[in-house]
Structure 1
Amino acid sequence: MSVFSFLTREKLTYRPSCPSVPSCPVSFMRGRRHRVDVPYALPKDEREEERLAFQHYTLHKILGGHYHAPIEPTVERILDVGTGTAKWAHDIARLFPQAQVYGLDLELPQGVGLPPPGNYHFVQGNVLQALPFPDNQFDFVHQRLLVSAIPSVRWPDVLHELVRVTKPGGYIELAEAGNSYQQVGASMQTFLNWGQIASIRKGIDVSLMPYLGDLLARVDMRHIRTRTFQLPVGTWGGKEGDLYARDMYAAFQGLKNFYCAVGDVDPDNFDAILADLPQEWEFCHTTHAFYIAYGQK
């Protein structure tokens, strides 16, 4: 088995798909489950939940924590938008046991690991629609890695909703990874070109991600801070680089249906290029830019 085969440390048991949505619109392609009512590029299935759990562990290690905004220990209400597996929200609920933590997503997380903390609450919702909360509810609103779910024209709407539900003086934090890679080879460049074509056809613009701070400024956030991490991709970058490469490779596997169906990429060509990437990352010492921005209402 390749060192880039996707592994997790936690054995997960799964509930039936779409437990909170009786007739959720999905399609199945090449064994992967996709929601067809949203522009999300990645699957929504058990395999993707395993990857997201691994990704949460990886990002915590690489980024040095779960958040960067200077939230107070007395924070009372926290919202995680696009909560996915809810790993981030569960960890935050344990870090702030006095706070009520809400995770919002299209579907209830399917994986069953540790029981959720008593101060965690799942809320079904779509980030592209009005959030199901009154105004001025949350001291801290967190949103991570939703670039492949939000068309570029919808970012202002999404951010206005995040601001609306944030208390005066509260913080919003965005964490995203775009298409800015350094030291790439021919196969990686091909992969990025495919992604750009498919994304444009879905109205997604990953080149916006270096400008998260500007996006927050346009919705009148104050005291904005930004930070860019150059993350190593591959074992050449030590344990962190190895973890990040494993996560990235699994994410790229999950993009196959998106690239092939939307970007007209030949499936066999996709597989051949994907297989080249781990060795190319090692040879080129590839790095990937990861962006964090936060601001205060």
Structure 2
Amino acid sequence: MGLFSFLRRKKPIRNDCHDHLFTRPVAFIRGRRHRVDVPYALPKDEREEERINFQHYTLHKLLGGHYHAPIDPTTVQRILDVGSGTGKWAHDIARHFPQTQVYGLDLEQPQAMGLQPPENYHFVQGNVMAPLPFPDNHFDFVHQRLLVSAIPSSLWPAVLQEIVRVTKSGGYIELAEAGNGYQHVGTSTQTFLQWGQTASTRKGIDLTLMKYLGDLLASVGVGQIQTKTFQLPVGAWGGKEGNLYAKDMYAAFQGLKNFYCLVGGVHPNSFDATLAALPQEWEACHTTHEFYIAYGQK
């Protein structure tokens, strides 16, 4: 039985008993704003937007660019960024391809508007787990990055089928994700990752799927697939880029507190103590984090 068949047959996982706390689309919990109508682990607020913009800069340095698919700048007409967040990736792409119309799709406009977006950038409100509000065969390139904490594993086939639908024949699709693939970790990091696995499972999210992005693309008919795995350094031991990535990861982990505590059942004091121990442990162990990229052609 193939990966696609396994996902299609997988039964939905019941939500944790704490879910009665999440009865409105938006809630403020311990000072953080969350969209609680979707299974998204991280906050949706200005503080998180600052982190995402910082992360965008860091990943550009570590991954060697904004994308890896061999798209032709002279022919590409329309580009879609699925789950665009702050819009930073799509804004940079729109500036890089000034003759191309670039669209960013997300649940809501960014909390902090920031700089004026390029004229060829367009925000579209939508949910990646619902049908995309675009016609068939519309985009030359569709990009999706770091939605592992937003899409339950049972929904990945449907999400990717929609992406394929709106991609032109011959167009490219690129996925960029990171899961729970860490190397050289200490006891505090192991504890933190196990908490994340428990909370994610209760929301139907499977972090281990991310290393199979190429298989996921193949299961929905994408061809000419190429995959890359990066071992990203976490900490100043890995130079400037490693230090930046550690800062981003620590801020992201801070943002997971409500998810770990309310869904995973972790005590807030235990969370804080374990989180505080991570940076020193990353330095001592020379921790690395696996980052996966897969792209292919419709």
For normalisation by structure 2, the TM-score amounts to 0.91
Q: Residues 124-172 of structure 1, C-alpha deviation per residue, up to 9 Å, x if partnerless?
A: 0000000000100000000000000000000000000000000000000
C-alpha distance in structure 1 between counterparts of 2:170 and 2:112, whole Å: 35
C-alpha distance in structure 1 between counterparts of 2:223 and 2:208, whole Å: 23
Are 1:111 and 2:150 an aligned pair?
Answer: no
Are 1:70 and 2:70 an aligned pair?
Answer: yes
**Gapped runs of 5+ residues in structure 1?**
1-23
Residue 87 of structure 2 corresponds to 86
C-alpha distance in structure 2 between counterparts of 1:107 and 1:284, whole Å: 39
Are 1:36 and 2:36 an aligned pair?
Answer: yes
C-alpha distance in structure 1 between counterparts of 2:31 and 2:110, whole Å: 19
**Gapped runs of 5+ residues in structure 2?**
1-23
Residue 53 of structure 1 corresponds to 53
- SS of corresponding position for 2:133: coil
Residue 11 of structure 1 corresponds to none
Query: What count of residue pairs does the alignment treat as equivalent?
Result: 274
C-alpha distance in structure 1 between counterparts of 2:37 and 2:146, whole Å: 19
Q: What is the 5 A alignment of 1:107-256?
A: 107-256=108-257
Residue 13 of structure 1 corresponds to none
Runs of 4+ aligned structure 1 residues displaced above 4 Å come to: none
How far the C-alpha of 1:113 sits from its partner, in A, is 2.6
How far the C-alpha of 1:109 sits from its partner, in A, is 1.6
- SS of corresponding position for 2:248: helix
C-alpha distance in structure 1 between counterparts of 2:294 and 2:255, whole Å: 27
C-alpha distance in structure 2 between counterparts of 1:25 and 1:203, whole Å: 19
Q: Residues 224-259 of structure 1, C-alpha deviation per residue, up to 9 Å, x if partnerless?
A: 000000000000000010000000000000000000
For normalisation by structure 1, the TM-score amounts to 0.92
Aligned-residue CA RMSD in angstroms?
0.7
What code does the residue aligned with 1:55 have?
Answer: Q
Residue 287 of structure 1 corresponds to 288
C-alpha distance in structure 1 between counterparts of 2:113 and 2:160, whole Å: 31
C-alpha distance in structure 2 between counterparts of 1:111 and 1:165, whole Å: 29
Q: Residues 88-111 of structure 1, C-alpha deviation per residue, up to 9 Å, x if partnerless?
A: 000000000110000000001222
C-alpha distance in structure 2 between counterparts of 1:267 and 1:181, whole Å: 24
Give the share of equivalent positions with the same residue, in percent.
Answer: 80
Q: Residues 150-199 of structure 1, C-alpha deviation per residue, up to 9 Å, x if partnerless?
A: 00000000000000000000000000001010000000000000000000
Residue 18 of structure 1 corresponds to none
C-alpha distance in structure 2 between counterparts of 1:167 and 1:292, whole Å: 21
C-alpha distance in structure 2 between counterparts of 1:27 and 1:175, whole Å: 29
What code does the residue aligned with 1:60 have?
Answer: H
Residue 272 of structure 1 corresponds to 273
Residue 15 of structure 1 corresponds to none
- SS of corresponding position for 2:218: helix
C-alpha distance in structure 1 between counterparts of 2:262 and 2:142, whole Å: 34
What code does the residue aligned with 1:68 have?
Answer: H
How far the C-alpha of 1:25 sits from its partner, in A, is 1.4
Residue 101 of structure 1 corresponds to 102
- SS of corresponding position for 1:85: coil
What code does the residue aligned with 2:46 have?
Answer: E
C-alpha distance in structure 2 between counterparts of 1:49 and 1:124, whole Å: 17
C-alpha distance in structure 2 between counterparts of 1:240 and 1:47, whole Å: 21
How far the C-alpha of 1:114 sits from its partner, in A, is 2.3
C-alpha distance in structure 1 between counterparts of 2:31 and 2:187, whole Å: 29
What code does the residue aligned with 1:116 have?
Answer: P
What code does the residue aligned with 2:166 have?
Answer: V
- SS of corresponding position for 1:176: strand
C-alpha distance in structure 2 between counterparts of 1:30 and 1:198, whole Å: 18
- SS of corresponding position for 1:203: coil
What code does the residue aligned with 2:232 have?
Answer: L
C-alpha distance in structure 2 between counterparts of 1:259 and 1:112, whole Å: 29
User: Which region of structure 1 is more displaced relative to structure 2, 189-198 or 105-114?
Assistant: 105-114
